């Protein structure tokens, strides 16, 4: 495989650039990312459809990764319950080194090829579930090992990587390869590669949740009402859907606890 993520930056002597030159250079590279994601949409489509089908039958979605990739998986998983009102164990993000690694790098955690499956067993992962490996390089041993064993156990496997033809893609039933090219800062895959993975995760989880019926029209009707902003947003949704005033909508929302339940109760 060609390690595009490790190739030298096209921008030279960046330590001698002005602030404006640095910012323009980073921005010029960032513009490449959505175009690379667009090329990968056929792969993303296959992965999203397969995950949605498994989850419709009671399966769960797991992400595993190390470093930036692992953190992005944790972020996406943690945002699904408040956004879509799903249980906290429907989408699970696991990072090499455990929760400590979310804030502080854990030495050599990504090099242990057996630890991911041990971590996954804490959640009783089984053949109904889906596992997506996240690794910009496509070569992280923690992710390779987890996908390999999961696949042997009948778990649906996928990945989001930024190099083509790597061992993580080889262990995936549904690989997604988004090749964004060398980073502005050589090898710093928290930049373009991380942005690409974040975009694909947004596309994947949102598509799956829509397919699972967690969205009505274009609204987050099952979102958790965890702060004043979200209560206000939910109240507006109820007002718009039922064509009622603010106070009536707010009363229904508080009484039933979600936009969906408030609207459904009013239609009975």
Which residues participate in catalysis according to the annotation? 79, 110
Question: Backbone phi, then psi, for 251, in 5-degree steps?
Answer: -65, -45
Q: CA-to-CA distance for 268 and 65, rounded, in angstroms?
A: 46
Question: Backbone phi, then psi, for 112, in 5-degree steps?
Answer: -90, 110
Would you call 129 helix, strand, or coil by DSSP? coil
Q: CA-to-CA distance for 138 and 2, rounded, in angstroms?
A: 11
- Computed from CA positions of residues 30, 195, 35, 183, in that sequence, does the dihedral angle turn out positive or negative? positive
Helix (H) or strand (E) holding 49: helix 41-56
Burial readout 188-203 (b: 16 or more C-beta within 10 A, e: otherwise): bbbbbbbbbbbbbbeb
The two three-digit tokens of residue 193, written as one number:
């590669």
Q: What dihedral angle (degrees, nearest 10) is formed by the CA atoms of 261, 263, 265, 268?
A: -140
C-alpha distances (whole Å) from 235 to each of 209, 215, 254, 265 are 22, 16, 9, 15
C-alpha distances (whole Å) from 87 to each of 21, 69, 134, 153 are 46, 23, 22, 24
Would you call 175 helix, strand, or coil by DSSP? strand
Q: CA-to-CA distance for 62 and 126, rounded, in angstroms?
A: 11
């Amino acid at each position: 495989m060609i390690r595009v993520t490790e190739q030298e930056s096209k921008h030279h002597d960046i330590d001698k650039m002005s602030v404006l030159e640095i910012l323009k250079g980073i921005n010029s590279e960032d513009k490449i990312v959505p175009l690379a994601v667009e090329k990968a949409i056929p792969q993303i489509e296959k992965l999203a459809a397969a995950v949605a089908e498994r989850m419709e039958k009671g399966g769960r979605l797991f992400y595993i990764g190390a470093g930036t990739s692992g953190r992005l998986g944790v972020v996406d998983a943690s945002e699904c319950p408040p956004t879509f009102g799903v249980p906290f164990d429907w989408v699970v993000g696991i990072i090499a080194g455990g929760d400590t690694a979310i804030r502080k790098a854990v030495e050599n955690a990504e090099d242990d090829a057996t630890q991911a499956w041990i971590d996954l067993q804490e959640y009783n992962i089984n053949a109904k579930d889906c596992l997506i490996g996240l690794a910009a390089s496509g070569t992280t041993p923690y992710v390779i090992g987890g996908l390999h064993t999961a696949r042997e156990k009948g778990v649906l496997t996928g990945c989001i990587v930024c190099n083509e033809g790597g061992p993580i893609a080889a262990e995936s039933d549904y690989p997604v390869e988004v090749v964004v090219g060398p980073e502005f800062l050589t090898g710093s895959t928290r930049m373009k590669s991380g942005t690409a993975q974040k975009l694909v995760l947004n596309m994947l989880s949102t598509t799956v949740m829509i397919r699972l019926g967690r969205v009505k029209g274009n609204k987050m009707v099952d979102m958790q009402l965890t702060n004043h902003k979200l209560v206000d947003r939910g109240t507006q949704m109820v007002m718009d859907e039922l064509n009622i005033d603010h106070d009536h909508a707010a009363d229904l929302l508080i009484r039933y606890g979600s936009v969906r339940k408030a609207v459904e109760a009013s239609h009975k």
